[in-house]
Amino acid sequence: MRLRALSGFGVKGPASFLLEMAGRRLLLDIGRGPDADRLPDLAGVGPVDAILVSHGHADHAGGLHLAEQVGSPPIHATPPVIALATDPVLRAAIPLDARGVVCGLSNETGPAGHAPGAVWMRIGGADGVLYTGDISDEGAIWRYAAPLPARVLIADASYGVADAGLPDQIAELAALADAPMLLPAPAHGRGLEIALAFQRAGVPVALCPAHRRVARVMADCPGWLVAEAGPTLRALLDEAAVLAPDSPPHGAMIAAGPNAESGLSAALAARFAADGTARIVFTGHLAAGTPSQRMVQDGQALFRRWNVHPTLSGLRRLLDAVRPERVIPAFCEPEAVAALQATVPVPVAVGAELAL
């Protein structure tokens, strides 16, 4: 078995891992960004047998147009990811095999909590690899199941050793609700979780059409939701106002996209930054070269993290579940890799390549 991080190791970069096992070659994700639309370098990779997509976010699936560089293999993704995709390549993906076999290799998956239809995957059974994709066990809507044991763990370590829990983060955000607030978020991600938290706190919520579409589609996918989250999503749709470009500033306004780079959040963030009638609060990675980074730097917007990746405590829970011989911390800078190396009780891979 050989594993190579084409991208996503030692950097908060696009995800792409090449796994060679039993004569088969699989690509786990081909992302883009999150900073500066960066793409993995696929030169010299050669043909692969299949591409497995962990979830639909751009930094995991935004490089699928590069698939012809690796022989245009079949692309596999979960049914919700396919249903919510706007990229025609992802919309045409093959639903991940319910029997848990891809190219003759066992591939078991489970819900990763991070986003609608997001999965972790275990390839090659207990002697193989567990790839978390992006993962979080703190959400109130997107279902999470603990991953299976495996020899090697590629772990979402986006937050390094940070350990603030989501309940504290929710309390911090709620404390800002004394004024109208715009919360840019990915429509198929934390936006609906944020909306639910504000609704539960008694703050009026408005949702952009992109978020409403995701809520409608996912309300009919109970297997991908925390118990009772289907009725919760329907109630959210009933009670939340429809957010539009000319909506008056009011309550918690949740709009796609996450960096005010696109969607309704771009127009609303520009408007509220100019007239000062609502706070603008970003809650995810501030992508380089996007309005979010500039607005926070210029004091026009605030940053308050909303966990959608594991905290250090979450990483410890992952390690307890997977019990790997080796862990590859993904999506974080070298300093975070070193900090984890000093902290977790499992050998941490320090290179982008691993042969076992």
Q: Tell the smallest beta-carbon distance from residue 116 to Zn ion (Å).
A: 11
* Shortest separation between residue 347's beta carbon and Zn ion, angstroms: 26
Strands 94-95 and 75-77: parallel
CB of 85 to Zn ion, least distance (A): 14
Q: Smallest gap, in angstroms, from Cβ of residue 247 to Zn ion?
A: 27
* Least distance (Å) between residue 178 CB and Zn ion: 31
Cα gap 245→263, rounded to integer Å: 10
- Cβ-based neighbours of 209, under 8 Å, separated by 6 or more: 242, 243, 264
Residues near 81 by Cβ (< 8 Å), separated by ≥ 6? 53, 55, 56, 61, 90, 93, 116, 117, 118
- In the complex with Zn ion, the residue whose CB is nearer, 12 or 151, is 12
Positions touching Zn ion (CB under 5 A) are 57, 134
Question: Residue 134 or residue 193: which is nearer to Zn ion going by CB?
Answer: 134
Q: Which is nearer to Zn ion, 105 or 155 (CB)?
A: 155
Question: Shortest distance, CB of residue 321 to Zn ion, whole angstroms?
Answer: 20
| Contact criterion met (CB below 8 Å) for 149 and 173 | no
Strands 152-156 and 279-282 turn out to be unpaired
Using the minimum distance from each CB to Zn ion, give the nearer residue, 25 or 57: 57
Rounded alpha-carbon distances, angstroms, from residue 320 to 9, 183, 219, 313? 22, 34, 32, 11
Alpha carbons 231 and 3: distance in angstroms, whole number: 42
Contacts of 330 (CB under 8 A, 6+ apart): 5, 8, 9, 15, 17, 132, 154, 155, 156, 157, 158
Of the pair 57, 143, the CB lying nearest Zn ion is at: 57
Q: Whole-angstrom Cα distance, residue 177 to residue 163?
A: 24
In the complex with Zn ion, the residue whose CB is nearer, 21 or 318, is: 318
